[in-house]
Amino acid sequence: MKMRILIAALTVCAVDSCLSQGTGPRITVSRDIEVTRVSEHSYVYVSHADVPHWGRVPSNGLLYISNGEALLFDTPMNDSLTMVLVQWITDSLNVKIVGFIGNHWHDDGIGGLRYLKSVGIPSYAHEKTIAIAESKDLPVPEHSFRDSLTLHVGREVVVCRYFGAAHTVDNIVSWIPADSILFGGCMVRELASESLGNTADADLAAWPSTIARVIAAYPAARIVIPGHGARGGPELLRHTQALLKKTK
């Protein structure tokens, strides 16, 4: 009996430890969307969409929750997937999405913005993202910033910053100090990646300096989330640097 009690106690401790380290179970929202809890207040979602010349592509986004309010970082690639994700967030997590932050102008950044605007969710992006969206007749985020933006969600803050061109000329990163999470988006490559991915709109000359500034700014980053593929730690930033050196 004592042995059974000990095993049960160890199991509970192991589960608590996993949750504290952000290794929650993967939740299937739909055929195309999965969500994983990565910290006490943060969830990474992966959405899948068919992209010409690339096939079925998984893309990462982030949801941060504090005191019943949530911020969404990047949308799935289209409005229909975004609608499914938003409905799941509001219905299953019982939170109100008080803002959306677009990492860059591609579909895996703001592809579902039209739907977010239709349901009244405020949207934020760098001024370069807004200029590009306007020039390409895309849905346009409502609020812009130049260097940095601090948003309040519940009792916490999120800081968005522009460090320079990389994957695109407008890409930003978002920092959640309470959880030491850096959402790097497509500027950052997963460890399994052997290339820089889609560089059609990249500034390969500026990218190395930009990623170096990001590394210097966030030495305390514990979880780093790339635009595609597996999350990790600051090693993802260094891996991206290494890929850039190989590209020269």
Which residues are part of the catalytic machinery? 104, 106, 108, 167, 198
With a CB cutoff of 8 Å and minimum separation 6, the contacts of 33 are 45, 46, 47, 48, 76, 81, 84, 85, 88
- For residue 161, what is the enclosing H or E element? strand 156-161
- Cα–Cα distance for residue pair 169/206, rounded to 1 Å: 9
Q: Which burial class, exposed, middle or buried, applies to 69 when counting CB atoms under 10 A from its CB (0-12, 13-18, 19+)?
A: middle
Long-range CB contacts (within 8 A, 24+) of 116-120 = 116/72, 116/75, 116/82, 116/86, 117/142, 119/86
- The terminus-to-terminus CA distance of the chain in angstroms comes to 64
* The CA-based dihedral angle spanning residues 123, 127, 133, 138, taken in that order and rounded to the nearest 10 degrees: 20
Token look-up 């095993």 returns 7
- Cα–Cα distance for residue pair 141/101, rounded to 1 Å: 9
Token look-up 């967030």 returns 89
